[in-house]
Amino acid sequence: MAKISPLMIAPPLIFGAFAVLAGIGMFRDDPNALPSAREGQPAPPVVLTEFAGKPGFDDATLRDGEVKLVNYWASWCAPCRVEHPNLQALSDEGIPVYGINYKDQLDNAEAFLTELGDPYAGIGRDEQGRMGLDWGVYGVPETYVVDGEGTIILRWAGPITQRVIESTIRPALEKAAGGS
């Protein structure tokens, strides 16, 4: 009887393991969603550099009893430009939006806001991205729904579009306001 080498069995086993992992990834609820370890937890400390001439915000702001959005953005980020009118519309509705300018040059960030408008109730700069690391930021834009006690209810990675507002942001805002 012929002997089967263990090296002959390895390729089908490796392929089978890959197929199982790919199948699990493809059939989860939202294969495009990035997981967030921060949802349901208190927002990490706010440690920002001042954005000259603009109101800032701090930890107390995130725990002031008001539901709010915290938006990481940068002038060099094309999707940030796309989402900006939607953030302005939410701000115009009375939803406080706090901005964190992420790894950006101040002059470029100021020009971005001058051109597109400033939807932010408060704003600061995360020049080195250290605060972004604490918040679990993968890249910009990212937006967090934070309840009045400073708990992160939702993290959305990617631009805020009208579809995202209706299907994801508004339900999270209602959840944060109702405490359910």
- Express each pLDDT in 110-145 by its tens digit: 999 999 999 999 999 999 999 999 999 999 999 999
* Within a domain: 165: yes
Domains in the chain: how many in total?
Answer: 1
What was the pLDDT predicted at 158?
94
Q: What is the CATH number of the domain that holds 56?
A: 3.40.30.10
- Looking at residue 9, its pLDDT comes to 79
- Identify whether 31 is preceded by a cis peptide bond (ω within 30 of 0): no
Report pLDDT for 31: 47
Digit-coded pLDDT (tens) for 30-54? 544 555 568 889 999 999 999 989 9
Strand partners of residue 98: 70, 122
Is residue 25 predicted with pLDDT exceeding 70?
Answer: no
**Helix and strand element counts for the chain (H, E):** 7, 6
Return mean pLDDT, the chain.
90
Please state, in angstroms and rounded to a whole number, the distance separating the CA atoms of residues 57 and 146. 14
Residue 30 located in a structural domain: no
On whether residue 156 sits in a domain, the answer given is: yes
Is 5 part of any domain?
no
Q: Residue 163 belongs to what domain range? A: 41-179
- pLDDT for 16 equals 76
- Token couple for 154: 């939702």
100: nearest Cα among 73, 134, 64: 73
| Any domain includes 139 | yes
Give the contacts of 10 (CB within 8 A, at least 6 positions apart): none
Q: How many residues does this entry show for the chain?
A: 180
Quick check: is 46 in a domain?
yes
Tokens linked to 4: 């089967």
29 found inside a domain: no
Q: Say what the pTM is.
A: 0.80
Does any domain span residue 14? no
Which of the residue ranges 22-31, 61-70, 86-95, 140-149 would you say has the lowest mean pLDDT?
Answer: 22-31
